[in-house]
Amino acid sequence: MGQKVNPTGFRTGVTIGWKSRWFAPKANYGEFLVEDEKIRRFVDDKLSRQPPHAAISCVEIERTREEVKVLLKTARPGLVIGPKGAEVDKLKGHLEDLTNRRVSINILEIKNPDIDARLVAENIAEQLKRRASFRRTLKQRADAAMQAGAKGVKIQVSGRLGGAEMSRTEQIILGSIPLHTLEADVDFGFVPAFTTYGVIGCKVWVYRGMFGETPSEEEQAAAAAMTRARRRRERGGPGGGPGGGGGDRRGGGRGGRDDRRPTVEGGASRPGGSRLGSLKQQPQQAPQAAPEEPSQPQ
């Protein structure tokens, strides 16, 4: 039978840290665990499931004797903070009422949301709710992730796709996804899309490279700014120039095949030498007179 493992749980404690960091005696462990889940659900319902749609990717929780520290990773920190910090203060008050403890909130911006699996899955789920074409949506998000610097992406949607009577599963894979390699930074996200005709599950795997060779923020920003056409030109791929690979009608001519037929100036000729048409007479230009040297005074 299937032996699928959640990539995040598989790497937790080995190459990825825990999302809840605290110690508790046995008597309080269950209470703190349920409290963490309540905090995560409240933040998700308050900021992601309704306006302002702040694109919350991860909620990390730390506990001390005095307070609960909540770290929000978001692609839109301005919407979470609000004007002069009004929204974050309001959120802090709600969480304190929920937990009956002192709460401090820190916000961390996600620089490149296109390679964050959770945010990609939320984007796909939002488009499926609007009855968008699922094939086009999968292709667009997968291409955007690869252009943003991902080394591999896999997207899988399952349910009554397009409102069909029979549910089915569709997926798209670009690049490589080394799920068995613990040193590989594979991000995983799952978001359900609640449509009028049923629930559609969206799973996203994003391979961002090995943990030791994570590119700098400047390199990630440069990769995100590089367009698809520039990538093709730089690596000399299909359609990248004369005779550059096959298939792309926009750039590479007839599939990159060289035209080896000898030609004569002014007209084309067959390989045997016979003329295909009359010579095109080039207009003769009148010879230019040499400029006169200015006469020097004697």
Q: Are 43 and 26 in contact (CB under 8 A)?
A: no
pLDDT above 80 (res 180): yes
pLDDT above 90 (res 133): yes
Tens-place pLDDT, residues 60-88: 999 998 899 999 999 999 999 999 999 99
Q: Are 173 and 141 in contact (CB under 8 A)?
A: no
What pLDDT shows up at residue 274? Answer: 44
Here the contacts of 133-136 (C-beta below 8 Å, separation 24 or greater) are 133/162, 134/161, 134/162, 134/170, 135/170
Tens-place pLDDT, residues 114-125: 999 999 999 999
Tokens of 143: 């291409």
pLDDT above 60 (res 258): no
- DSSP helix/strand/coil, 37: helix
- CATH fold for the domain made of 114-229: Ribosomal protein S3 C-terminal domain (3.30.1140)
The one-character DSSP state at 275 is B
pTM assigned to the model: 0.70
pLDDT above 50 (res 177): yes
Tens-place pLDDT, residues 55-64: 899 999 999 9
Tell me the pLDDT band of 245, cut-offs 50, 70 and 90: very low
Q: What is d(CA 113, CA 107) in angstroms, rounded to the nearest whole number?
A: 15
**Distance between terminal CA atoms of the chain?**
108
Percent of the chain with pLDDT over 90: 65
pLDDT above 90 (res 145): yes
Domain ranges (residues) in the chain: 16-110, 114-229
pLDDT above 80 (res 16): yes
Residue range 16-110 forms a domain whose CATH class is: alpha beta
